[in-house]
Structure 1
Amino acid sequence: MKEYTAKQIKQLEKNPYVFKVTKHMIYYTAKFKEDFWVSYQAGNTPRKILEDFGFDLSIFRQKQIDSLVQHIKKQALAGEGFSEGANRKRRIPPKPTDIEELAAPQSIERMQNELLYLRQEVEFLKKIIIADNSRKKK
């Protein structure tokens, strides 16, 4: 398990998206997780997102980045909102269901990002199917 230096901890604590830092763990804010997920769905790479959000990429190993993506994806797909830090009770509420709330600009942007992400997934699945079918023909 990676241990963060005092300098790295201070640097991480200055980032507004960091909820808490220990020698071994970084706890992110619910806002970070939500913004990360929206950006990830729009097609940005995890490294680019972290860089855009003010993180020094030299602090992270690839395994940490992959794990971060999986945790955020799991929370997003669970439909219970994003947790803040390690406390499961502090959450950003799930996506709105009320008609007026769905018409809000933030909701429309979220739906557009989700639509882009789903289209990318469909295109990727098509490519996999085509590759598999061409492999079977040979």
Structure 2
Amino acid sequence: MTKRYFTRKEQKQLKCNPNVQAVSEKAITYTDEFKRHFIAENEKGKLPREIFETAGLDVELIGIKRIESSGKRWRAAYPKAGVEGLQDTRKTNSGRPSERELTLEEKLKRLEAKNRLLEAENELLKKLDLLERQMLKKNKNRYGTKV
């Protein structure tokens, strides 16, 4: 962790960005959407600094070290747990299992959230499959043979 702290003015400036969920004097919490966007752009070959700049984040204010470590953390988490690995679990996972029984409403909310996540993953896989089939068809038409 860096030794540089954010002033109240800097915190306010960072919080104005739609890709920032929360800011404290020591840390920035980015939205899950931004993390997914970061992974997608990074896989296309964009550098972390470029992705942050394009998202309207002040690279000089945040610091290149913070950007690199965030990118490294997200790239490591994504292959292991997919989109779920990018989510901020600090509030939902304190390390100690809940001792109380969840209400039906809480269970329903959790299941709905999980369902939305799975639907999003399925849509992504469908799009990837379609792109792959299009590329294969394109190559087949180009070379007249199956690749």
Normalising TM by the smaller chain, what interval?
0.5 to 0.7
2:29 is matched with: 27
SS of 2:117's equivalent in the other structure is: coil
C-alpha deviation, 1:101, in angstroms:
6.3
CA shift in 2, pair 1:86/1:51, >3 Å: farther
C-alpha deviation, 1:58, in angstroms:
1.1
Q: How many residues align?
A: 107
Structure 2 unmatched ranges of 5 or more: 94-112, 133-147
2:38 is matched with: 36
C-alpha deviation, 1:74, in angstroms:
1.9
TM-score, scaled to structure 2: 0.61
Report which structure shows greater RCO (CA 8 Å, sep ≥6): 1
More strand by share: 1
8 A contact 1:12–1:18 mirrored in 2:
yes
Q: Which runs of 4+ in 1 moved over 2 A?
A: 84-96, 100-103
Cα root mean square deviation, aligned: 2.9
TM-score, scaled to structure 1: 0.64
Structure 1 unmatched ranges of 5 or more: 113-138
Taking only the aligned residue pairs, the percentage that are identical comes to 25
Aligned partner (choices 71, 74, 86) of residue 72 of structure 1: 74
